[in-house]
Chains A and B, each alone.
Chain A
Amino acid sequence: MGFFKMAGTAFTNLFRKPATLMYPVKPAKRFPNTRGTLTIEFEKCILCGICQKKCPSYAIEVDKTEKTWKLDRIRCISCGSCTDWCPKKCLHLDNAYTAPVTSEFKDSTRERHTGA
């Protein structure tokens, strides 16, 4: 038997600060380990293509002849497989999430690096 079991919890809630954040106006909490957006130091890249082979979602495209490294951000699931395998350690998972985009997301989320 029991009545008003929730009353205490509900009452303290009135005086507690909200448990939620107004993202993206307020930045999301993050930790050093947070797997966010993928970045590349293209100067170090030797275009070996290992990252392309190890990416489970086929987000990376490396072209040796054209000397390009391309990433489709919408495909990238921030798993970190490519960063683990890259022999030059030039790929990094930044701990900030990729910024939200509203228009023409396809183009604004494709990244192309070229050495040519």
Chain B
Amino acid sequence: MIKQTIIPFGPQHPVLPEPLQLDLVLEDEKVVQAIPSIGYVHRGLETLVTRQEYQEFVYVAERICGICSFIHGMGYCQAVEEIMKVEVPARGVFLRTIWAELSRIHSHLLWLGLAADAFGFENLFMQAWRIRETVLDIFEETTGGRVIFSVCKVGGARKDIQPDTLVRIGQTLEKMKKDVKSIEKVFLKDNSVRHRLAGIGILSAEDAQSLGAVGPVVRASGIKVDTRMLGYAAYPEAEFEIITGTAGDCYARCAVRIGEIYQSIDIIRQLIPKTPEGPVDVKVTGAPQGESYMRLEQPRGEVLYYIKANGTRLLDRFRVRTPTFANIPPLVKMLEGCDIADVPNIILTIDPCISCTER
């Protein structure tokens, strides 16, 4: 019988920006089991809701994550708006959707960089982040923040984007496509990169479904799930197809994310001319009473919010289930049977965001 060794991976590991611990049970160089444990960065954001008035809690909700911050704020606002039956003006909804899609582009580019870093391709990492800078500049210009935008509020948006700026954003993104193409060919065609990605960390469609994977992870295994198809915000106004892969390996997950960058650019391109004139917000008074659920598509997958309000300005309960949380069981499955050298790579392909997971 081969002797088993347990190697702790994390919570501090060069490839992980955030603390996740996995105990890897090894036989020789093969992982036979991975035991995850989280709990290193718990911040108690959900409890803050009982101390922060519901309108100011948006700023806390946004800080659940530093990368997909906008969609967290938007999800929270949508949930409160649903309880309070607030009708957000169409322009506000469109701008929110545009910002949400820009967030997706920026998150996926960030991921591409981190993935390149994980398989040891520093130059590629720098290129991906250089391109991401274009999107960050758009954010700073339109919202005033580079990663935390503070632009969503209960009742709409806090800032408007001038029509000519919107057009310019569309043009900038079109130009950015060329840059993305230049790194896409490295990620998808280069031999050494393929060698690190293809056939590694395979998640079958059945496993993806039964373990409840979300986002690019489940789509890369060939299952068509995308919460945007539920038609919240301005998504019904844009035409797009769910991007899927078939192999379910690291390469497919990478390809899906790259595809989604183009998809988001395309959605924004469709939305810009359709953005109606008018105000971006409505005044919200009173306090919410009741409860609501909200499901949104984050760059990393489906996120779920639950809000319970008691008729005062302080909410009773706020609960988030973030995509990374849902993707940890599939991750454990992917790790079974892989080589220890591939572990960092596989972990990164679920795009882990541990701080989100622990709120």
Cross-chain contact B144 with A54 (CB below 8 angstroms): no
Q: Are B158 and A80 in contact (CB under 8 A)?
A: yes
A6 contacts B59, CB within 8 Å? no
Q: Is the CB of B56 within 8 A of A9?
A: no
Taking a contact as CB atoms under 8 Å apart, the answer to whether B185 and A33 are in contact is: no
State the main secondary structure of chain A at its contact with B.
loop
* A100 interface contact, C-beta 8 A: no
B133 interfacial contact with A, CB 8 Å: yes
In-complex Cβ contact of B140 among A13, A34, A57, A93 (8 A) = A34
Q: Is residue A3 contacting chain B, with contact meaning CB distance below 8 A?
A: yes
For chain B, give the interface size range: 20 to 34
- Which residues of A sit under 8 angstroms from B182, Cβ to Cβ? 8-9
A31–B186 contact, CB under 8 A? Answer: no
* Complex contacts, B148 vs chain A, CB 8 Å: 77
Shortest Cβ gap from B172 to chain A (Å): 14
**Main secondary structure on chain B at its contact with chain A?**
helix
| Contact flags A1-23 to B (C-beta < 8 A → 1, else 0) | 11101101110010000010000
Contact B133 A79 (CB under 8 A): no
Instruction: Check: B32 CB closer than 8 A to any chain A CB.
Output: no
Which one of B1-9, B123-131, B216-224, B247-255 contacts A?
B123-131
Is A93's CB under 8 angstroms from B185's CB? no
B56 in complex: contacting residue of A33, A54, A93, CB < 8 Å: A54
21 A-B residue pairs with Cβ-Cβ distance under 8 Å, sorted by A, are A1-B191, A3-B191, A5-B190, A6-B121, A6-B123, A9-B127, A13-B127, A30-B140, A31-B144, A33-B159, A34-B145, A56-B56, A57-B59, A77-B148, A78-B145, A79-B150, A80-B144, A81-B56, A84-B158, A93-B144, A95-B144
The 10 A-B pairs of least Cβ separation, nearest first, read A35-B144, A2-B189, A33-B144, A5-B190, A56-B59, A56-B56, A31-B141, A79-B150, A5-B186, A19-B130
Interface residues of B (CB under 8 A from A): 52-53, 55-57, 59-60, 121, 123-124, 126-127, 130, 133, 137, 140-145, 148, 150, 158-159, 182-183, 185-186, 189-191
